[in-house]
Every structure is written in structure tokens, then in C-alpha cells.
Structure 1
Amino acid sequence: MKEYKFILLGFLAIVTVSLFIILKDISSLNAKNNTIAFDIKGLMQRIVALEQNKTIEQMIALRAENASLKNELKVLLSELNTAAQSTVPPSPDPGQEAKGTIEQEPAVPGSKGFLKREN
């Protein structure tokens, strides 16, 4: 029976040591996991910062392009107005072309309706 006690005690010692080794490995892996998670968060923050810088640079470039296009549009409009004024004589007002006097006379004597006749 003493042999079984020594065998059981030896087996218990092996299990206990194995358990402590496994727990040590688990805590080591947990620490590595935390370190990796921290590094990933740092990388994500750097990526966001780089994307913001890229976006800001693109916005600045687009604003500069927008301003240059507005200036170009103003120049083209002024050239168009200048060209239009120099080539086309001023047209008379459409209302001034057909100036005639309009008289009203009764359609039928004693009637309230009027016909319009131009002279």
C-alpha cells in the first residue's frame, strides 16, 4: 500500500507542477496578447492620422483647384461679355418695333363689346 501512496504522491506532484507550468504559459500568452492589442491600437491610430492628413491634403488641393477654376470662369465670362458687346449691335426693344395706335370702336352699334383695330 505504501507503494501506491508513493505512486499517487508522485502522480499528484507531476500534475501540480504541470498545472503551474500551464498557468505560467497562459499568463505569458495573456501578457503577449495585451501587448499585441496595444500595438494594434497604436497602429490603428497612426493609420487614422495618416488618412486624415491625406484627406486634408486632398481638400487643400481641391480648394486650390476650385479657386483657380472660379478665377478662370470670371476671366472667360469677362472675355465673353467683351466679345458680345463688340460684335453685336444693340437690338431694339421688341415692344418698340410695332408702335401703332390702337383704337377701340364698337363691334355693333349699341353693343358693349369692342374690336381693336390698328392704324
Structure 2
Amino acid sequence: MEVESIFVNIDKETKEGLRNTVVITYTDEKGKLIKNVNTESNVSLIYGPYEGKKVLTLSISKAEVEYGNEMQIKNINNLELFYTKVQDNLLLYTRHNELSYTSEGRITNEYTEEQHFEMFTQAVTNN
């Protein structure tokens, strides 16, 4: 897969410092660069965006994430992964090395649920 875009959501400063969130979107077919992208004032564009169908989005932040949906738990490579399915999307979450990692990806014939778990685990442990 290739990186389609990287954005940073700039959070308000807390006593622990900034808790920005880096959002990386992956695609399997990176197209042309999209020019003149408008973002909100608290979002900084770091890379891209390029044309392409989103396979998954990975978010990394110091802030802990809270989910309203009931999450199931799965352990892979000593990582405790919280996950839920919403229609054909798989949402994954874990904490590792004092960072929160969240992934959202669409389950398809090409990208199965197990492949999303594998990609997420690799992204977290290869950080």
C-alpha cells in the first residue's frame, strides 16, 4: 500500500503539552496529486493528498481514545487490540509506547478482517 495523505490535527495545548493527532491514509492505487486542498485552521497538511481509494486510515496520538461502541478484545503479538465492526468497517484501537493508535478500514474480499488486524499490528509495532 501507499500513503495517500498525512494530516496533523492540532490539538489545544494542555499541561502535558500538545496532543496532536497524526492521520495517515493509505491507498492501494496512488493517483495524481490533488492541488489546492482547503483544510480547517486546526489541520495541517504534511503530505498529499493523492487521488486513490482509501484502504485504511491510521491515527496516532498521545491522547487516549474513548469509544461509544462496545469493543471486543483480541491479543496479537502481545498487543491488546480493541475492535468493533460497524457494517463493513473495522475499527481498531490500542495503546503502545504511551501512544494511542486507531485504525478504520473497510472489509472487502481484497482486504479481509484478518488482513486489517495484521496491517494494524505491523503499523503499531514498527513505529
TM > 0.5 fold call: no
Q: Based on CA coordinates, which of the two structures has the bigger radius of gyration?
A: 1
> Which range, TM-score by smaller chain?
under 0.3
TM-score (norm 2): 0.13
TM-score, normalised with respect to structure 1: 0.14
Higher strand share: 2
